[in-house]
Structure 1
Amino acid sequence: MLTMSFDYINALLKKPTKRTPIWVMRQAGRYLPEYRATRAKAGDFLTLCKSPELACEVTMQPIDRFDLDAAILFSDILTIPDAMNLGLYFSEGEGPKFSNPIQSLADIEKLPTDINNELTYVFDGVSTIKKALNNRVPLIGFSGSPWTLATYMIEGGSSKTFANTKKMLFNNPDALHLLLEKLAQSVIAYLNQQILSGANSVMIFDTWGGVLSKQNYLDFSLNYMAKIVKSVKAQHPTIPITLFSKNGGKHLSHIADTGCDGIGIDWTIELAQAQQQVGDKVAIQGNLDPAVLYATPEVIEREVKKVLSQFKGDTGHIFNLGHGITPDVDPENMKVLVDCVHKFSSR
């Protein structure tokens, strides 16, 4: 699929790179004035996600502005539950909501899993972006993890306590496992089709894995991500897969055993600690605190050097924030970040 060597792909495969590659979670987003203009043109967030041309436009905006080493598909993790007819909508200032949340085993049993036909706009977006990139940088496709998707589907939106999901986990674990299995099968088909449409690597975002105890994390989150890795690798053995569990630093050795190529870490664990847990099994992506981008260029440079110095080895590190870039960051500070990573990591 690749017609040229990319530092981002090489780093994921632990091959030599000219410099430490960098991309940033939510690099296409509200901190960019050009993104805000395109979103206004779209009218609302879901329309923006569901228009391949507009999704391509916002995906390319940070690539055109900064010297980034990868593009990531502009989409949302909740595309799969939306395709399952749960009635996704976005309330201004409140985030995603579902008008038909999961409330019973019967609700789970009637969920469709063969939903790629409802997601053609995503695959059209991937192929449109791939053409626009013209091999400048690789394209990352992605999905939410089954556990994370399930929390939104059961809670009906974002949650601080995950009360309904954890009630199901403890009171009716079989029902939750059925939901997670259905979601895993949908994610497998979804990622496979993103790859067929042109994605050079894929990533699974497990935003809420960190709210679980260790055994529940292994049983209800990582177990299903491991199934996805195995199935996608069976179809596309050369495509690198990255797993990211927010607040998952204590689980890294288990994550590395899934067969994934890379692990994303947040800023609550240092790179050196992460390397101690995973050895040379996988590449590591991370892990600057996004709040550093509120600081002066001098502080950003200092913190970049600190992260780069923590990684021991010549390859296998992809620089990223520990979570998504925040909307009120000055784009000039993003440029400082990207340029510093390249300047201080050049071979």
Structure 2
Amino acid sequence: MNIKSLRLIHFRNFDNVEFNFKENCIHCFYGKNAQGKTNLIESIYFLSHLHSFRTNTLSSMVMDSQDQMLVQAKIESNHSMSDLKVVVSNQKKHLFHNNNSIKKYSDFVGILNAISFCPDDIMLFSAPKKVRRNFIDMELIKLSKKYTFTLSRYNRTLKNRNMALKQNELDVDLIDVYTSQMIEDEVVIIKQRNSFINSLMAYANRLYPFFSREKEKMSANYITFVDIDNIEENIGKSYENTFDKDCLYKMTNVGIHRDDIQFLLNGKDINEVASQGQKRSYLLAMKLGLAQMVYEKTNQYPILLLDDVFSELDPYRKKELIHILPKNMQIFITTVEKVDASWFKNRSVQFYEVQNGMVKEVTQ
């Protein structure tokens, strides 16, 4: 997968710019802080996920004094071309694929598959468990239409079941119908989430030794509300056992909407044993492992966005990181300092200087 061109209008500090990018090339953007480096890769991420990795507020991405913005890109995917466009106006997203209006977010997300790494990502480990569920869900949504449909249906059914529980006169038969549908969906969701985590850690462990000089092992536990063996029977019993509590509190107290992931380093919770540097390395290994998972499932690499990835690596590891990045992947890197061009031996690379929303291609 490659971004052939990118157009930004009133996005952050980019007024009206357009870029053309080489396929399977490392695009390295450098410049001082607050010049727009991260804004550029944020726009790509936004086009992939329909939200930012920096903010939950749409208006903060719109240039000051403007009331709308546009992000548009031409994408090459499996030898076919797509035109993606998002217009944000009056706090609403308007989506277009090949100039056709798209109404459902799920029909848009994943057309451009971008994976990002940024320093704040280490908050994943200490954030509320909803953040870790969203991490799994977003990646599975991009990879599996069945998962997207099933999760969407589960969330609707959960909402309906909670509404039914809030009625003064309970319709037990209706609640049972909702419960049966949730059980059917949860079997699918739990199996896919658990398989995803196991596969991701297997891929990440192959890469982690590069980042750690010590012999450390990554692992993760998917924490759900039932034993995964005999899963359908166990989920049914769980709802039976908590029905009285659900009626008392007028809400569904068990389900995959409360699940979590525990990340481990050498068998211990990463929050208890890992330094900030170890967490950063752990996370980077996960993101690169995720890219490899995508490749093996779709036969093409996603777009990789690496924000300030070199800041805590010594010169040797900076150089070696470049060497382990797949050659047939389009990669966008931001850095405060210029990077030694000799590190990119036998790699296609373009360098850009970013200054106050202006981007200039440079040679090194």
Report the TM-score, using the length of structure 2 for normalisation: 0.34
- Structure ID, larger Rg: 2
Q: Write 1 or 2 for the structure with the bigger share of strand.
A: 2
Report the TM-score, using the length of structure 1 for normalisation: 0.35
